[in-house]
Amino acid sequence: MRQGLITAWYDRNINAGTEWKHEIDTHLNTAQIILLLVSPDFIASDYCYSIEMTRALERYDAKEAHVIPIILRPTDWKDTPLGKLQALPTDGKPITSRSWHSRDEAFFDVEIGIKKVVKELTKPKERDTEIGKIRPVNEKFGNKTVKAHILFVDDEVDKKINSLRAFFTNMGYSTDLAVNGREALAHVQQHQPDIIVLDLAMPVMEGFEVVRRLRMEGNNVPIIILTAHPDSNYLDEAYETGANAFIAKHIRPSDLLARVETLLRET
């Protein structure tokens, strides 16, 4: 976490008054790495075993997430569906095992194992020659020349976002719209944009998480964060996560166009 490669979440992060099941489902369905803290209590819990573990394994089988059992205390986990997974610490030796010199040693072993997975996830991926291919600026589609493809990501599909898209279309750009972070990531996998204009506060997955995940995957597409809350704290986080620009939503379309064209020239 100190290196900024991962963002951790667990259910104690749920605020009072929040629908806990929705929050858990949201993170369980979007996390790239899921750690299952295995103990006799975990195995005995209907919710942990039958719901959370089942969903985690579904995403593992679909190659959507890495699932790592962390064996906290001795339990017969190898005869469960978790038995097919590589567990931590090494050899599935429980954290509380007396064979460790200390629990710090056991947790360090877990840390090393997780780092290996993160390293694998952060390797730059070769993009398919057809799907997700980066299009050069000024590519021709039929008889129409398109300067570049812009992905707008905003949950508020209102007059302003529609006007922005119409403006850029008139200026020779093609545009698409995703209404949340998860939809944006799925779009990028299928159709690599030349630049992304991204809102911060969105349901399902907020803007900073979108930037983190794209950068972890080695995707260096230019990203402009367009927000109604241009707070200085947000500004620092924007650049720390890998955004290229941080702009208030009330910017004039012509000024946003200038920023877009500058970033496209720089890439």
| Cα gap 57→105, rounded to integer Å | 28
- How much is the average pLDDT of 216-221? 92
**In-domain check, residue 169:** yes
**In-domain check, residue 2:** no
**In-domain check, residue 133:** no
Strand blocks (E) in 199-243: 223-227
**In-domain check, residue 131:** no
Q: In the beta sheet, which residues pair with residue 66? A: 33
Asked whether residue 25 falls in the same domain as residue 64, the answer is yes
CATH number, domain with residue 224: 3.40.50.2300
Asked whether residue 143 falls in the same domain as residue 249, the answer is yes
**In-domain check, residue 108:** yes
Asked whether residue 144 falls in the same domain as residue 54, the answer is no
Torsion 92-97-98-100 (CA) sign: positive
| Cα gap 224→251, rounded to integer Å | 12
DSSP code of 137?
T
Most confident listed range (17-31, 117-131, 146-160, 223-237) = 146-160
229-263 residue pLDDT tens: 656 567 777 878 899 888 877 788 888 898 899 88
Q: How many structural domains is the chain composed of?
A: 2
With 0-12 CB in 10 A as exposed, 13-18 as middle and 19+ as buried, what is 133?
A: exposed
**In-domain check, residue 149:** yes
Do 208 and 233 meet the contact criterion of CB atoms below 8 Å apart?
no
| Cα gap 213→206, rounded to integer Å | 11
Count CB-CB contacts under 10 A for residue 59.
18
* Domain end residue (candidates: 121, 150, 168): 121
Tokens found for residue 18? 């929040």
* Domain end residue (candidates: 121, 150, 181): 121
Count CB-CB contacts under 10 A for residue 200.
25
Give the domain extent around 51: 11-121
Task: Return mean pLDDT, the chain.
Answer: 81
| Closest alpha carbon to 249 in 206, 201, 215, 217 | 201
**In-domain check, residue 129:** no
Q: What pLDDT band is residue 159 in, cutting at 50, 70 and 90?
A: confident
**In-domain check, residue 23:** yes
Strand blocks (E) in 199-260: 223-227, 245-248
CATH number, domain with residue 21: 3.40.50.10140
112-144 residue pLDDT tens: 899 888 887 766 544 333 333 334 444 444 445
- For every residue of 51-117, DSSP letters joined together read IIHHHHHHHHHTTS-EEEEEE-S---GGGSGGGGSPPBSGGG--TT-TTSS-HHHHHHHHHHHHHHH
Task: Name residue, tokens 């650049």.
Answer: 239
